[in-house]
């Protein structure tokens, strides 16, 4: 990406003004060292303040600094905010627990387990730092609650101490990150938006040129999903950063929504054009080519024009298309057969819709890039989406949070049982650490691996803490000496955190080295035994955790894999059955989110991945078509929806998905008779045929089988057959649209579930396509 062409707002008013080349350096390597420097600086300030304020364990403040510190100011403040929130809630609950169950350790531990499990489940339902707040509220209850329960008379003091130490760490980290060479996440946001714009443009150019093959489209699609999620994260960090980003919050959300809409239409368009490329459609292709060539020229020009100019050109092209369509249709009527005419009309319909959505997206994009374009949004009133449609929820299958919660509860129970039955003096610490890490890692895609890295970090920190504690610390005098002695170790931790490969190790090292090595406020003797005890405890806790993550429903286990894929399929039921209002947005968004999670499941083979991807693309395209058809045939659709048994349209299928769902599957009656054939003439109206097809699709996706697949195909066939009988009705624009969407659906009927896919997914995806979370997101998700 060329940073010079970024239409930057007046110039970032940071106090170092640098040329773009330097900027690149600053954002790369220098940013890492800056991060190291800032982290260590913040750690020392926090440590000094904690000593000065005579806090009980100054190390908590340093640990907090290590946890909260991130590359960008907005991220630090966001994480700090949610950490403060979580700590506050957790401390409150721990006090409640102590007040209620101080006498009975069994009840107390049970209550703690429930609370932690509940919040771990909650954490998997959210994204980014919101999820972190949940986790934190859970395990802070542990950190504060356990010592408090052991010493109920001082419970309140323990809670306030913990709270003030954490707050001190957060405050110092935020201030240092905001004041010392601040790096704003706004530039990241702008760059990400720009990159997405460019790739959408080039993808569009290729689609209308030749079409993008399905496999390649899959990987492009995934990348787009990740980019959009990334964009949304940057937006949420920016909220904590500066006023400008806050003011544009809505613009970014709108932009993402419009982008998704445009991308989904592009998907349909791509599939359609691939079909048009076949030889039977040659006349159509010939007719379209001159018109499409204009667009290709605009979109693939080298070097690319500025976004504003490109959008201007595209707008002209859009007008041109609108002007040409009637002319082309008129001249071509006689030369094309019915199928070809349908294909031509379908292209026009999709193209026009796509361009409309693209222009809407473009306007928001420009408004984001510079304030002078902001007025553009107002020009044609593009409706503001309600909040619910703009937000990204972390949509997932309900089983996943449950698994996470159960695992944490089991870890907590094992640890407590061990503690209670052996009266291990360090049991409390082991319990705290096990629960904290188990909760933390339940939200990362591959917890076992993360825990392993953490374990390495713990081992390293133990070794170095020994070295520091007994070889270096005795020679140090005063705070300055301590700082000088600590600096290399803290720098090592911070540096490891900047390397995406070692993030977990770095975080583990930073946290546990600080815990083990930093002396408390009261003078402590150099305590070999204590350190060895702590080290053993840490190692035991972390090994138990690693074992738990590998054995108790490990990530990517069969059940959750199956459930996730099923959840993806179920999205089609959502498209068929949910109320139409705002359905398209939520459908597109949730399907994308689910797909991202499915692909992120560790241990999924490349072939499975490709299969899942192809399945998701089918669901997305079909769902979109179903929604459009439901909109077009709304009166019928809404009537049938308001009734409980909305599938009664088809007289032969009496079992509705709803009634079936209530029965165990082995008792659910099979369908009567042959696959949903209806006598022609029984259904008089086109919408009813369409509704019949939709209901057949819903049934198919509810219980994929050959039987339902045939039924769905037949229903579609019947709906399509409706048209030739009635040529006048077919030319009416409304009906024509229905016909076009049915035609598009026809294209996808070979990819329905319940059959072995036509091309078995043996052709593995190219090995060089790691579906990884981008590094920045990875850094945020750890701890």
Using CB under 8 A, list all residues that contact other proteins. 13-15, 73, 156, 175, 178-179, 182, 242-243
Q: Which long-range contacts (CB under 8 A, 24 or more apart) does 444-450 make?
A: 444/781, 444/782, 445/555, 445/600, 445/601, 445/602, 445/773, 446/555, 446/556, 446/602, 447/549, 447/555, 448/546, 448/549, 448/550, 448/554, 448/555, 448/602, 449/504, 449/602, 450/504, 450/782
Q: Based on CB atoms, which residue is closest to other proteins, 51 or 156?
A: 156
Residue 262 near residue 361 (C-beta atoms within 8 A): yes
To other proteins, the closest distance from the beta carbon of 193 in angstroms equals: 23
Strands (E), 422-472: none
Cα-based distances in Å from 461 to 67, 203, 478, 493, 514: 16, 48, 23, 9, 8
Three-state SS for 487-530 is HHHHHHHHHHHHCHHHHHHHHHHHHHHHHHHCCCCCCCCCCHHH
Q: Strand, coil or helix: what is 430?
A: helix
Minimum Å gap between C-beta 178 and other proteins is 4
What CA–CA distance (Å, rounded) separates 187 from 733? 46
C-alpha distance from residue 7 to each of 278, 368, 520, 650 (Å) = 42, 10, 52, 57
Smallest separation, CB 34 to other proteins (Å): 15
Q: Rounded to whole angstroms, how far apart are CA atoms 456 and 501?
A: 13
Give the shortest CB-247-to-other proteins separation in angstroms: 9
- Identify which of residues 163 and 321 has a Cβ nearer to other proteins in the complex: 163
Report in angstroms how near the CB of residue 15 gets to other proteins at its nearest. 5
Least distance (Å) from other proteins to the CB of residue 479? 23
Whose Cβ is closer to other proteins: residue 179's or residue 764's?
A: 179
Which DSSP string corresponds to 278-303?
SGGGHHHHHHHHHHHHHHHHHHT-SS
Measured between alpha carbons, how far is 91 from 690 in angstroms, rounded to an integer?
57
Nearer to other proteins, 90 or 362 (CB): 90
Judged by beta carbon, residue 42 or residue 440, the one nearer other proteins is 42
Distances from the Cα of 334 to the Cα of 287, 290, 328, 736, angstroms = 13, 19, 11, 18
Beta bridge partners of residue 680, listed in sequence order: 683
Q: Which is nearer to other proteins, 178 or 209 (CB)?
A: 178
Min dist. Cβ of residue 100 to other proteins (A): 17
Q: Is residue 783 within 8 Å of residue 511, measured between CB atoms?
A: yes
- Up-side HSE of residue 772: CA atoms within 13 Å toward CB? 11
Instruction: Compute the least distance from the CB of residue 179 to other proteins, in Å.
Output: 5
CB 160 to other proteins: min, Å: 8
Grouping H, G, I as helix, E, B as strand and the rest as coil, residue 434 is: helix
Q: Which of 469, 640, 664, 427 is nearest to 59 (CA)?
A: 469
Query: Among residues 159 and 696, whose Cβ is nearest to other proteins?
Result: 159
Task: Tell me whether residue 155 or residue 765 sits nearer to other proteins (CB atom).
Answer: 155
- Provide, rounded to whole angstroms, the least separation between the CB of residue 128 and other proteins: 22
Q: What angle do CA 389, 392, 395 make, to 5 degrees?
A: 105
Residue closer to other proteins by CB (options 158, 627) is 158
Rounded Cα gap, residues 16 and 32, in angstroms: 17
Q: 175 or 607: whose CB is closer to other proteins?
A: 175
Q: How many CB atoms lie within 10 A of CB 80?
A: 27
Rounded CA-CA distance 176/174 in Å is 6
Q: Which residues pair with 683 in a beta bridge?
A: 680
Q: 159 vs 203, which CB is nearer to other proteins?
A: 159
- Tell me how far, at minimum, the Cβ of 73 lies from other proteins, in Å: 7
Give the residue with the Cβ less far from other proteins, 26 or 156: 156
CB of 570 to other proteins, least distance (A): 44
Least Å distance, CB 609 to other proteins, is: 44
Beta carbon of residue 243, minimum distance to other proteins (angstroms, whole number): 4
Please give the Cα distance from 520 to 708 (Å, whole number): 69
Q: Between residues 118 and 156, which has the closer beta carbon with respect to other proteins?
A: 156
User: Which is nearest to 190 in space by CA: 238, 254, 223, 229?
Assistant: 238
Question: Given phi > 0 = left and psi -120 to 50 = alpha, else beta, which region is 754?
Answer: left
For other proteins, give the closer residue by CB, 11 or 423. 11
* Cβ 191 to other proteins shortest distance, Å: 21
The candidate with the shortest Cα–Cα distance to 430, out of 535, 519, 504, is: 535
Give the residue ranges of DSSP H helices in 333-386.
338-369, 374-378
d(CA 5, CA 134): 41
Radius of gyration of the chain (CA): 30
Confirm if 560 and 397 have CB atoms less than 8 A apart: yes
Structure tokens that stand for 606 in this block: 């490349």
**Based on CB atoms, which residue is closest to other proteins, 163 or 573?**
163
């Amino acid at each position: 990406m060329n940073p010079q062409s970024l239409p930057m707002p007046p110039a970032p008013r940071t106090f170092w003004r640098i040329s773009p080349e330097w900027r690149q350096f600053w954002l790369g390597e220098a940013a890492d060292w800056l991060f190291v420097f800032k982290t260590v600086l913040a750690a020392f300030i926090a440590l000094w303040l904690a000593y000065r304020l005579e806090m009980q364990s100054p190390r908590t403040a340093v640990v907090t600094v290590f946890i909260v510190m991130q590359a960008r100011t907005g991220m630090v403040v966001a994480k700090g905010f949610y950490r403060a929130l979580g700590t506050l809630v957790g401390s409150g609950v721990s006090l409640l627990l102590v007040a209620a169950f101080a006498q009975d350790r069994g009840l107390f531990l049970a209550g703690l387990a429930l609370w932690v499990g509940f919040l771990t489940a909650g954490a998997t339902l959210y994204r980014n730092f919101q999820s972190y707040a949940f986790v934190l509220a859970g395990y802070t209850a542990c950190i504060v609650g356990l010592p408090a329960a052991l010493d109920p008379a001082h419970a309140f003091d323990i809670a306030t101490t913990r709270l003030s130490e954490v707050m001190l760490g957060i405050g110092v980290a935020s201030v240092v990150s905001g004041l010392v060479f601040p790096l704003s996440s706004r530039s990241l946001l702008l760059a990400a938006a720009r990159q997405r714009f460019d790739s959408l443009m080039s993808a569009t150019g290729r689609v209308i040129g030749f079409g993008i093959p399905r496999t390649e489209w899959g990987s492009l699609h995934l990348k787009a999903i990740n980019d959009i999620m990334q964009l949304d994260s940057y937006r949420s960090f920016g909220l904590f950063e500066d006023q400008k980003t806050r003011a544009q919050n809505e613009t970014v959300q709108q932009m993402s929504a419009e982008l998704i809409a445009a991308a989904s239409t592009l998907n349909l368009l791509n599939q359609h054009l691939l079909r048009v490329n076949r030889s039977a459609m040659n006349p159509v292709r010939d007719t379209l080519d001159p018109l499409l060539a204009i667009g290709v020229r605009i979109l693939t020009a080298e070097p690319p024009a500025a976004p504003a100019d490109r959008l201007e050109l595209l707008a002209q092209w859009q007008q041109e298309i609108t002007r040409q369509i009637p002319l082309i249709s008129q001249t071509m009527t006689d030369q094309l057969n019915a199928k070809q005419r349908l294909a031509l009309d379908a292209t026009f319909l999709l193209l026009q819709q796509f361009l409309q959505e693209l222009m809407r997206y473009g306007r928001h994009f420009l408004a984001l890039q510079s304030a002078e374009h902001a007025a553009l949004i107002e020009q044609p009133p593009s409706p503001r989406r309600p909040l619910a449609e703009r937000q990204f929820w972390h949509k997932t299958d309900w089983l996943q949070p449950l698994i996470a919660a159960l695992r944490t509860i089991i870890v907590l129970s094992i640890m407590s049982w061990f503690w209670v039955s052996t009266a291990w003096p360090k049991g409390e610490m082991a319990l705290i650490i096990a629960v904290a890490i188990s909760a933390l890692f339940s939200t990362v895609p591959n917890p076992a691996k993360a825990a392993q890295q953490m374990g390495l970090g713990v081992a390293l920190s133990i070794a170095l803490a020994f070295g520091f504690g007994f070889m270096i610390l005795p020679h140090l005098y005063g705070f300055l000496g301590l700082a000088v002695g600590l600096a290399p170790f803290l720098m090592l931790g911070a540096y490891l955190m900047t390397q995406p490969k070692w993030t977990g190790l770095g975080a583990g090292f930073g946290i546990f080295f600080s815990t083990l090595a930093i002396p408390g406020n009261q003078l402590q003797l150099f305590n070999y035994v204590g350190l060895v005890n702590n080290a053993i405890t840490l190692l035991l806790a972390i090994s138990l955790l690693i074992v738990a993550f590998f054995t108790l429903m490990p990530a990517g286990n069969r059940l959750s894999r199956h459930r996730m894929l099923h959840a993806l399929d179920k999205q089609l039921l959502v498209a068929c059955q949910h109320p139409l209002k705002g359905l398209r947005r939520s459908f597109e968004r949730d399907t994308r989110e689910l797909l991202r999670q499915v692909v992120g499941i560790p241990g999924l083979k490349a072939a499975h991945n490709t299969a899942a991807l192809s399945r998701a693309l089918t669901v997305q395209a079909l769902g979109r078509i179903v929604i459009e058809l439901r909109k077009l045939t709304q009166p019928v659709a809404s009537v049938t929806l308001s009734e409980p048994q909305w599938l009664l349209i088809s007289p032969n299928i009496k079992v509705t998905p709803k009634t079936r769902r209530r029965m165990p599957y082995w008792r659910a009656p099979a369908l009567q008779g042959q696959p949903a054939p209806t006598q022609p003439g029984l259904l008089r109206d086109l919408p009813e045929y369409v509704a019949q097809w939709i209901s057949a699709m819903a049934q198919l996706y509810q219980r994929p089988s050959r039987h339902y697949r045939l039924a769905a195909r037949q229903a579609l066939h019947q709906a399509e057959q409706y048209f030739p009988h009635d040529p006048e009705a077919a030319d009416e624009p409304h009906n024509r649209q229905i016909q076009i969407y049915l035609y598009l659906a026809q294209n996808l009927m070979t990819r329905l579930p319940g059959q072995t896919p036509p091309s078995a997914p043996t052709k593995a995806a190219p090995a060089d396509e790691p579906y990884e979370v981008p590094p920045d997101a990875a850094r945020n998700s750890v701890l």
